[in-house]
Chain A
Amino acid sequence: MPELAGKIFRINGPVVEIEDISSIRMFDMVKVGEQALIGEVVKLSEGRAFIQVYEDTTSLKAGDPVYTEGVALYVELGPGLLANIYDGIQRPLEEIQKKEGFFIRRGISVPALDRNKKWDFHPLSQQGQQIKEGQIIGEINETLLIKHKIMIPPGINGTLKWIIPEGNYSIDEKIAIVEQNNSETEIFMYQRWPVRKRRPYKEKIPVREPLITGQRVIDTLFPVAKGGCVAVPGPFGAGKTVVQHQLAKWSNAEIVIFIGCGERGNEMTDVLLSFPKLIDPHTKRPLLERTVLIANTSNMPVAAREASIYTGITIAEYYRDMGYNVALMADSTSRWAEALRELSGRLEEMPLEEGFPAYLSARLAEFYERAGKVNTLSGNTGSVSVVASVSPPGGDFSEPVTSHTKRFIRCFWALDKDLAYSRHFPSISWIDSYSEYVDDLKEWWHQNIDHSWFELRGVIMDLLGREQRLLQVVKLVGPDVLPQSQKLILEICSIFKNAFLQQSAFDETDEFSSARKQFLMLKSIIYFYRKCEDIIKKGISIEDVRNLPVYQDIIRMRSRYSEDNLSELENLTNKIDQDIKNWELK
């Protein structure tokens, strides 16, 4: 039951100072003022507590009461999370709209999970069984796509004294009792977990499997593993959000958590409206059935923006614990860092670079370390991959958020303004980006797709590097002075950029490429390069290369060959041979 925690002493934006405090602890959740605005204790000093309030503090007065429930800020984890949209502190936005209308009023209290909805519970354990924390005792079809596993909350071990039979229950109904040292614990279909604490697992394990995103520049050049961390930095207009959306749509993770952290309202609306219509290429079900959305748009309270990242990753860990591969998209972590900076300023802490607090890098590290692939307590394996966009001011990658983030991620997709200006999308720069996962994922590609993947990837990376140096020369003296063999490199790289690296998010054939298609496209281009290299020695000019009929096939292959007729794409090498033979005969 809520008890009086203290009285307001001072209000300064989202930070409220309270005095006459009773026994409250750091990070306890409190309710401030008559409207019961939700807040969190962030600093205790000289008999006063500093509260970070998650809602607008207008009209609060000195002397107003503050209540505490004695628990840390938590989220509710259970069936009903999927296909839902929450704000930064897990209040369901659709429910709020039903209750309050188009605008978000303050002090609304709506439970995160629907208490009335009945779920079809299917028990998987028997009475009398010894059970351990994290063990799966039953399951529910949360959506047609995802089975929701009901787990024993961490910290509970003992004998299953009773379990409810199969049937329809709401989440408030007790479904099991665990007896532990002569005391009984009731188990429900949902559990609470403090957002700032990572959920336990047995052990972390190495990442070996790629997160296939269907985006060629990513999967082929800069792949990310299931359980990996990626940063996507770029100036405004470079296409961060489109990259995030494409990943949320097409990646082969089983669960997607999408956090709109301090971004545009219309973008979240776009996701909300388009995801129910989009069909997952892997499971043929609407994408929304595997997605949890967290929307704390830029005009929503700044403190809740700070919390939204933790809310998101806690939900991600919960599905990981069931044994799923979860991908978390956070757009954008810079807005989160700015929220941190604003709150730190209000707490009158000593600022460091650009006004950011000293603990910025520690917080980033903590967040990224919650990603990874693990053996769960229940003995499954699951993973959380994090794709975090970064919005560096002025597109300057040396600013604190980007440079600190770089220390904790292993994959970096740098978005380039010039590529975006010429509408080359995704505008991921092949010069500034990197992925440390290539070696870890080599085996997977070799076993599942083709043994020459690593070698061919190496060839194209080398060509792109050489092109870069040649372009320096061209800039000074023009392309005409280059020998034919070097002109060929420029030509092949141009083909690669247009036909492979560019990918339209708005073309049905092109928006998603399977690993197989990507490999075949890469192989065709390299094959063409090698063949041309040979005949260039026999005197073919670049003009003639462009006039080979197969040239048009290659340059348009991304939209010409759909996933259903990959055999035609496979045939491209024969076509290349044929055309070159014809040329030689001439």
Chain B
Amino acid sequence: MKEYKLREYVGLDEVHGPLIIIRNVHNVGYNEMVEVVDEQENVRLGMILEAGKGYAVVQVLGGTTGLSLNNSRIRFTEKPLLIGVSEEMLGRVFNGLGQPMDSLPAISYEDQLDVNGMAINPTARVYPKNNIETGISSIDIMNTLVRGQKLPIFSGSGLPHDMVAAQITRQARVKGESFCIIFAAMGVKYDTARFFIDSFEQSGVLERVAIFLSLADSPSIERILTPRMALTLAEHLAFKKNIHVLVIMTDMSNYCEALRELSSVRGEIPARKGYPGYLYSDLASLYERAGLIKDINGSITQIPILTMANDDITHPIPDLTGYITEGQIVQDRELNGKGIYPPIAVLPSLSRLMKDNIGKNKTREDHPSVASQLFASYARVKDVRALASIIGEEDLSEVDQMYLKFGDLFEQRFLKQDYYERRTFQEGLDLGWDILSILPQDELIRMKEEELKKYYKKNTAK
């Protein structure tokens, strides 16, 4: 398949975890791709991690099982790691290294691109300005998703983050415009991947989905490449083919663990919890590959999913992710326990791009105030509940009792919705007003006076 003239060396000097050291080699370029061939003529890809005078350190992506010192060969491609990209890749399934896994005909590639991509010049970016109606009120009304945004889902094991992502994908389709989905699975179980594939099939979009699977049983080191493969294809489709691309990456925690593993065999100085000091820069090199570019009609929207170890949002992975992404959707175990789906904890959730994309001419003029008031009132509910657990509900003041009622309604009617229920912005905002209207008007100080006149209804929610 690959036809370039390659220099080939026989024999390795050291094999150590996923790393190979070879000596007496020359003219080796840093970060370039190599092919490692074992006794059975199996070819694995590798990358030059360190290049020095007369030696090179190679990271083998397919794992080092079965490599021997004397009979393995190594070929230098003198190119950075490239991936073939094509619109034909939609509807196909690939492994974590971008090789087709299905038995369909070979793909004719339109281009070969460096998987590391290049930084978008900030002056060439367009500020995202089209919101996406996901049909989920806790996202639409309180943490609006915007096309070109990177909005991760912070979740925990056992929480329905896959369902939420699948529901967003199903409901957020923009009619009439060219769209596609790229799904990258890193270290997740086959069941999870199957769930997504079934869900794509069910909503009839499978033809428009490219799937990259690096499942739990494939070498962990491969996962470092999988999201880069997916994003390189996304960039090609979005910026060359003018397609709106939604990239779902799950689970980023597994990606970071692969990175930590690699860092530790390289003997690097760890920063927090054993993760390398460059985890932030590394994650940024993935997340920043979302957005829009001037004069180009396509876009990349990212929904990375990550499970937080012990539900700890201060763990380095969610922490650094939150510092890079434009907000986060946080799932909550307590809500899940109450049977509320989607269990989105609205208070710690955030959409940074929401401010410029809601309100008059975008959604509805009262949207900013409704969102702000719901946040403020629900935050108060948390305080009142804490107080009620100490002094009892009966001893609460009248207003506080109203807050308790508001809180229950908010969770049961506003947050809770069916897996197949699709609420418009309009419906979500009206529902917000219904629920807010059980609070006295004086409590709604985030609302503008004219909005209160127009929308405030007394006791419509029961």
CB distance from B319 to the nearest CB of A (A): 5
Q: Which residues of A contact B124 (CB under 8 A)?
A: 97, 101-103
- Chain A 268-299 per-residue mask, 1 if CB under 8 angstroms from chain B, else 0: 11101100000000000000000000010111
Q: Which residues of A contact B323 (CB under 8 A)?
A: 236, 391
B29 CB contact (under 8 Å) in A60, A273, A395 = A60
In the complex, whether B412 has a CB less than 8 A from a CB of chain A is no
- Chain B 102-136 per-residue mask, 1 if CB under 8 angstroms from chain A, else 0: 00000000000000111111111111100000000
Interface-side segment among A135-143, A151-159, A258-266: A258-266
Closest to B32 in A: A59
Asked whether A299 lies within 8 Å of B80 as measured between CB atoms, the reply is no
Asked whether B314 lies within 8 Å of A394 as measured between CB atoms, the reply is yes
Q: Which residues of A contact B123 (CB under 8 A)?
A: 85, 93-94, 96-97, 269, 272
Q: Which residues of B contact A13 (CB under 8 A)?
A: 278
In the complex, whether A463 has a CB less than 8 A from a CB of chain B is no
The bracket for how many chain B residues form the interface is 35 or more
In the complex, whether A549 has a CB less than 8 A from a CB of chain B is no
In the complex, whether B401 has a CB less than 8 A from a CB of chain A is no
Asked whether A297 lies within 8 Å of B30 as measured between CB atoms, the reply is no
CB distance from B124 to the nearest CB of A (A): 4
- Chain A 300-317 per-residue mask, 1 if CB under 8 angstroms from chain B, else 0: 101000000000000000
Asked whether A355 lies within 8 Å of B278 as measured between CB atoms, the reply is no
A104-B118, A393-B319 known; A61-B269 Cβ under 8 A:
no
A55-102 contacts to B, CB under 8 A, are 56-63, 85, 93-94, 96-97, 100-102
In the complex, whether B303 has a CB less than 8 A from a CB of chain A is no
Asked whether A475 lies within 8 Å of B387 as measured between CB atoms, the reply is yes
A60-B51, A341-B271, A395-B314 known; A475-B125 Cβ under 8 A:
no
A544-558 contacts to B, CB under 8 A, are 546, 555-556
Asked whether B52 lies within 8 Å of A85 as measured between CB atoms, the reply is no
Q: Which residues of A contact B413 (CB under 8 A)?
A: none
A265-B122, A393-B319 known; A351-B269 Cβ under 8 A:
yes
| Complex Cα spacing A297 to B284, Å | 9
Interface-side segment among A120-128, A402-410, A448-456, A477-485: A477-485
Closest to B125 in A: A269
| Complex Cα spacing A9 to B30, Å | 12
The bracket for how many chain A residues form the interface is 35 or more
Most buried by A among B323, B376, B396: B323
In the complex, whether B196 has a CB less than 8 A from a CB of chain A is no
Q: Which residues of B contact A105 (CB under 8 A)?
A: 118
Closest to B27 in A: A61
In the complex, whether B37 has a CB less than 8 A from a CB of chain A is no
In the complex, whether A354 has a CB less than 8 A from a CB of chain B is yes
In the complex, whether A375 has a CB less than 8 A from a CB of chain B is no
B267-284 contacts to A, CB under 8 A, are 268-272, 277-278, 280-281, 284
Q: Which residues of B contact A354 (CB under 8 A)?
A: 271-272
Asked whether A63 lies within 8 Å of B26 as measured between CB atoms, the reply is yes
Closest to B392 in A: A478
In the complex, whether A423 has a CB less than 8 A from a CB of chain B is yes
| Complex Cα spacing A17 to B375, Å | 54
Known: A58-B116, A422-B375, A423-B379. 16 other contacts (CB 8 A): A56-B31, A58-B80, A59-B31, A61-B27, A61-B29, A61-B30, A62-B27, A62-B28, A104-B120, A265-B291, A299-B285, A351-B269, A355-B270, A393-B314, A421-B379, A422-B347
What are some 28 contacts across the A-B interface (CB < 8 A)? A9-B52, A9-B53, A10-B50, A61-B30, A61-B51, A62-B51, A63-B27, A85-B122, A93-B122, A102-B294, A102-B296, A104-B118, A104-B121, A237-B348, A265-B288, A266-B125, A298-B284, A299-B119, A299-B285, A341-B271, A342-B277, A342-B278, A355-B277, A393-B319, A421-B375, A422-B379, A478-B396, A498-B445
